[in-house]
Structure formats: C-alpha cells, structure tokens
Amino acid sequence: MLSREKYEELEACCDVGMIFLDSRFTIPNFPSRLLAYLECKMPVIIATDGSTDIGTIAQQNSFGLWSHSGDIDKIRENILTLISNVQLRVEMGVNGFDFLSSNYHVSVAYNEIIQKIN
C-alpha cells in the first residue's frame, strides 16, 4: 500500500501506464488508474478480459495498446513497441490527455447529466 502522495511520486517517474485485468472477468471493468495515466500524458499498455472495452477505446483513440490478458506474445509485442519508439509514446500520451479532457472532464459529465434531465 502506498499513500496517494507516494503513488503520484512514483507515477511521475514512469513512461508508460500498465493495466492488467484477469482474463476470467466477465463484467466490464473500468480501472480508475487509467484516468491518472491519461492526466500524466502516459500511453497505456492494457491487457484485459474480453468483457472490458477500455482496450478498444485506447486503441481507437490512439492512447494505448491492447491485448487479451492471456496473450503473452501480444503483451510482449506491445511492451517492445512502446520501449522502442519514444515518439509513439509521446504522441499516445498527448492523445490520451486530449481524450481525457474531451470525454472524462467533470464539465463533460455535468453537461451530459443536465442534458438527460432536460
């Protein structure tokens, strides 16, 4: 267990965020640490079950690379891709930050709620 401050200090030293979910999950899962990675402009390597769509969202919006959590070869390939390409990491980090700002900002949620109420 790390305090929030220690976690953020450690996170600031990283080049890539990693999200690994058990392949046996059957309920969609949205790991909250993704938001912290996007805020830090980090690309994300994601390995999840087939029920969670965050990997698809990351790939479609060019802020991360996805594989099924049981596919070790693809996970390795994704890691090597980001290790070997600094420019790709930077671009994906910026894409992720832009995606966060456009889709997960409090104002976006507020506007959607107000629109549904009206």
| Cα gap 82→33, rounded to integer Å | 19
Token pair 């600094």 in the structure block, residue = 86
pTM of the full structure: 0.85
pLDDT at 7: 86
What integer is the mean pLDDT of 91-97? 98
CA–CA distance, 50 with 23 (Å, rounded to integer) = 7
What average pLDDT score do residues 11-27 get?
A: 88
Strand ranges in the chain using DSSP code E only, listed in sequence order: 17-20, 44-48, 64-68
Closest CA to 67 of 83, 56, 81, 82: 56
Q: What is the mean pLDDT of residues 73-92?
A: 97
Q: Does domain 10-117 have CATH number 3.30.565.10?
A: no
